[in-house]
Structure 1
Amino acid sequence: MYADLVAVWSVLWTLRPDPIPEIQQTYFSTIGIQLLTTAVLVVLVVLSLTFGRRLESIVEDRYDRHIGEASRIVWLLFVIAAGIYVLSVVWHVTYFVRLVLETLVIGRWTAIQQLITASIVLVAYLLIRFVNRSIDELQGTSSLTKHQSEVAYHVADIGIALGAMTLILTLWGVDLTNIFIGAGAITAIVGLAARETLAAVLAGFILLFSRPFRVGDWIEVQNHSGIVKDVTIFNTKIQTFSDEHVLVPNDIITESDLTNLSRNDQLRVEVEVGIDYETDVHHAREVVVEAVEDLDSIRSSPDPHVIAKRFADSSILLEVRVWIGEPTMRRRWNARTDAIEAIKVAFDREGITIPYPQRVQSARGERFPVEDVQSDRPTTPQVESE
């Protein structure tokens, strides 16, 4: 330890070589010269910082953005250190620099610990950058969704940071047992106080791995139907067709029935129409199929077909089934409207009646006689004419 102190003192002494006192007495002996030199030094520092930005752009164009940023930081540290030392010489306070460095005297083992700590931090930073860059590349190839990428960012960064912190604490001899016990107690308290939030976070991870939908899909959940705009750890943002933005907690989505209308890239649209009981059902079905099969708003495959659904009060109810591609609410509305218009035109051409609701009343069994009940109102006396 004593040898280390001697070595450090020898280094400190070189901060004030023999010519420095002579230069201080000759050139920096008055307040005016010191102030003027300080002003010139400030200008030089500003110019040096400008040069640092230029240096960063040059290195970035030639190598990489991170290397350019690192070069600027190194240059900035050098300028600051040089400026502090020059100011100490100008104002005759080099002893203060020696005093500061003296307080930073450390042993060999402490220096090794600090060096290893700095290495761990640097490796963790580079590892985080590498993992995030890999996640970006996977997202670019559509292997990961935006939601999955965001979750992967947070999980990777937190995992690497916790691992690096654990190594550093172990290196410095910190007992991690009490830390783990305290973290467990805090986790239990937070878990009891924020059960719903933790449930939403857990559901967010379930959605991450199960991937029942993606951003841009048309889904129906909890009486809400719309396009998925964003998926976070806590909730899912849906834009309804009334232009409303609904935030649905992820735990509600995992606990409810979910319908993804965009998953199969096609959607069946049903249109109901009633025909008169006196109409030939088979002929009416053929007319409907011919009316809708050539519409541009529906797909030709699967073929549209018509089924007799049930006996209604005033008609036989037919159900027309057609398919649309790349399902959206607008395409569904257009297909339904086009089908109704085409069916109406075809029925008018073929003379097929779409009956109005009507009821037929008839008596059963014995008929009840209806007597003519005279009114109790007084009658107007008739006057006989002569």
Structure 2
Amino acid sequence: MTLDLGAVWVRLQAMAQGLLTALPGVVVGLVVFLLFLLLARAVRRGVGSLAGRAGQPPGIALVFSRIASGLFLALGLLVALTIAVPSLNAGTLFSALGVGGVAVGFAFKDIFQNLLAGLLILLTRPFRIGDQIVSGDHEGTVEDIQVRATLLRTYDNRQVVIPNSELYTNRVVVNTAYDKRRLSVPVGIGFGDDIGRARAVILDTLRDVPGVLADPAPEVLIRELGDFSVNLDVRFWIDPPLRRETVHVQDQVLGAVTPALLGAGIDLPFPTWQVLWHDQTETTDGDRTRQREGWPARRDNPPSRQQARAEQEARAPQSADGKRQDPEA
């Protein structure tokens, strides 16, 4: 069997000739794309500078510069492809993009949703870079608002990447939206203490605590009558409303109020419970023939402790002076 390699050689020569023919177009296309890449960087800086001069926040300027740069790169890629592949004209390219756009849209639906949500967040500005927010189980400082997600830095120095669509559609608490913030700490006093005096002692102490604002003035309200104490709600304002200030001022308030109340003779009670057996409360509680307070009825009727004590004293022998002796003596 003889192999005819002539056809293979002719095919290889044709492929090499086609590659050599297309090589100049590929090189020119790469050069054009590199030029567009450099121009895209310049466009990015220019758009960012223009947005900054227009008074836009840094986050919006950054996103607009990224979008302009991406669009310019996409245009450069299309021009480079038409130069590298002469048979690929603009009509064919756009028709191919139109056919594949539906598939790309379904495949990248979440990406486009996050992109649109990021633009809306930057335009509506419910929060800005540097704000401290709470989103779901996460709380921290906004470090960056990107096209797809927002970067949140927690107070224990961890980074949380939250999709923009989640931030835009769900509830977000912005702790630093205003220049002042009201805090409150609970304080419990005894039921026998003078509430007015306790309130005066607390308010007088808050005047000397650093970080507590005099305007709006602090206030002390009765929150509830607890099981073992009268619970007061000590409210005060701080500025700035940052997390560090919140923790430090609360620590100073509690550290100052506690000795002040104790020094004024105000009781700070701790939880106490009194446990009574069923036959220790009333003399009739020993009657088990009828159900009482959830206890099951019984046919036998053991006496209560009071009744048993009275029967023991009745059976105890009398002394010479006529007094009954203690049976346990």
Is 1:303 the counterpart of 2:221? The answer is no
Alpha-carbon separation, structure 2, partners of 1:307 and 1:364? 39
| 3-state DSSP of counterpart to 2:178 | coil
Q: Is contact 1:219-1:260 (8 Å) kept?
A: yes
| 3-state DSSP of counterpart to 1:279 | coil
Q: Is contact 2:40-2:73 (8 Å) kept?
A: no
| 3-state DSSP of counterpart to 2:285 | coil
Which residue of the partner structure matches residue 147 of structure 1? 59
Alignment of 1:240-251 (within 5 A): 240-251=154-165
Structure 1 residue 178, shift from structure 2 partner: 4.7
Structure 1 residue 224, shift from structure 2 partner: 0.8
Structure 1 residue 163, shift from structure 2 partner: 7.7
Which residue of the partner structure matches residue 6 of structure 2? none
Is 1:327 the counterpart of 2:241? The answer is yes
Residue identity matched to 1:320: V
Q: Is contact 1:201-1:234 (8 Å) kept?
A: yes
Alpha-carbon separation, structure 1, partners of 2:78 and 2:190? 80
Which residue of the partner structure matches residue 133 of structure 1? 46
Task: Tell me the matched-pair count.
Answer: 253
Is 1:291 the counterpart of 2:205? The answer is yes
Is 1:313 the counterpart of 2:227? The answer is yes
Alignment of 1:253-272 (within 5 A): 253-272=167-186
Rg larger in structure: 1
Q: Is contact 2:43-2:68 (8 Å) kept?
A: no
Task: Give deviations 1:19-74, integer Å, cap 9, x for gaps.
Answer: xxxxxxxxxxxxxxxxxxxxxxxxxxxxxxxxxxxxxxxxxxxxxxxxxxxxxxxx
Length-normalised TM-score, structure 2: 0.66
Q: Is contact 2:262-2:268 (8 Å) kept?
A: no
Structure 1 residue 150, shift from structure 2 partner: 1.9
Q: Is contact 1:228-1:237 (8 Å) kept?
A: yes
Residue identity matched to 2:270: Y
Is 1:341 the counterpart of 2:262? The answer is no
Alpha-carbon separation, structure 1, partners of 2:45 and 2:69? 8
| 3-state DSSP of counterpart to 2:231 | strand
Alpha-carbon separation, structure 1, partners of 2:167 and 2:136? 8
Alpha-carbon separation, structure 1, partners of 2:140 and 2:116? 24
Find the partner of 2:128 among 191, 214, 222: 214
Which residue of the partner structure matches residue 190 of structure 2? 276
Task: Give deviations 1:143-173, integer Å, cap 9, x for gaps.
Answer: 223321122113334556778999999xx9x
Alignment of 1:115-130 (within 5 A): 129=42
Residue identity matched to 2:67: V
Alpha-carbon separation, structure 1, partners of 2:197 and 2:103? 71
Alignment of 1:1-386 (within 5 A): 129=42, 132-133=45-46, 135-139=48-52, 143-159=55-71, 178-361=92-275, 363=281, 366-368=284-286, 369-370=304-305, 371=308
Q: Is contact 2:40-2:70 (8 Å) kept?
A: no
Q: Which has the higher helix share?
A: 1
Structure 1 residue 209, shift from structure 2 partner: 0.9
Q: Is contact 2:224-2:231 (8 Å) kept?
A: yes
Distance 1:128 1:197, change over 3 A: closer
For structure 2, the residue ranges without an aligned partner over 5 or more in a row are 1-31, 287-303, 310-329
Alpha-carbon separation, structure 2, partners of 1:248 and 1:183? 31
Aligned residues: CA RMSD: 3.5
Structure 1 residue 360, shift from structure 2 partner: 3.8
Q: Is contact 2:189-2:266 (8 Å) kept?
A: yes
| 3-state DSSP of counterpart to 1:253 | helix
For structure 1, the residue ranges without an aligned partner over 5 or more in a row are 1-117, 373-386
Moved more, 245-254 or 149-158: 149-158
